[in-house]
Amino acid sequence: MKKYSLGVLLLLVTSLFLAGAIKYISNPDAISNYYFRVLIDGTDAGEFNEVSGLYIGQQAVGYQNSNDVLARKRPGTVTYGNITLKRDYTVTSLFSDWIDEARLVTDDKKLKDVTVILFKVLENDNSTQVKKWSFFECFPISWTLSPLKNGDGREVLSEEIVVAVNWFE
């Protein structure tokens, strides 16, 4: 009798798990078939393979009133993560011009706004804008080129730029 009960229980748990997994997989609000564009000061910056580092953090500041035994928390300083942009390397682009300008210019002219626009591809090969993130007063803080290799196995050169963000919405 115990084997039968365990088998029924296992079947029930598996069925519930699969029902939840199917519900998760078929979530119509999930963004699955998408692409994105990157703009620098409103100008298309070309094709990018990856954008990462979209992050907002807020400190929790603890305080306690003198006559209260309960410690409380309130919102503190907001911080924004640096964004990393990766793409295939091209010799000339708006992107490389910004890198050169940022390292040679010492005033606020190197600060630019970066916009990432997320599009969902629809069934008829059209697309619709899903979300737009606008990053303000940005400047490049690092640039990396993939390793240069001779011989077989040479891949497409790629570049990565890390951009400091003062704030975004």
Task: Give the residue from 81, 80, 82 showing the smallest Cα distance to 140.
Answer: 82
What is the chain's alpha carbon radius of gyration, rounded to the nearest angstrom?
24
pLDDT of residue 89: 87
Beta strands in the chain, from DSSP E residues, in sequence order: 34-40, 43-44, 50-52, 56-63, 72-80, 83-88, 112-121, 127-145, 158-164, 167-168
pLDDT exceeds 80 at position 111: yes
| 107 φ/ψ angles, rounded to the nearest 5 degrees | -110, -170
pLDDT of residue 19: 56
User: Predicted confidence band at 1 (pLDDT cuts at 50, 70, 90)?
Assistant: very low
C-alpha to C-alpha distance for 96 and 137, rounded to whole angstroms? 18
pLDDT exceeds 80 at position 3: no
Identify the sign of the CA torsion 106, 111, 112, 114. Answer: positive
Provide mean pLDDT across the span 96-112: 78
pLDDT exceeds 70 at position 166: yes
Tokens found for residue 36: 């994105």
User: Predicted confidence band at 92 (pLDDT cuts at 50, 70, 90)?
Assistant: confident
Q: What is the pLDDT of residues 30-55, one digit of tens each?
A: 778 889 999 999 988 888 899 999 99
pLDDT exceeds 70 at position 142: yes
User: Predicted confidence band at 15 (pLDDT cuts at 50, 70, 90)?
Assistant: low
pLDDT exceeds 50 at position 81: yes
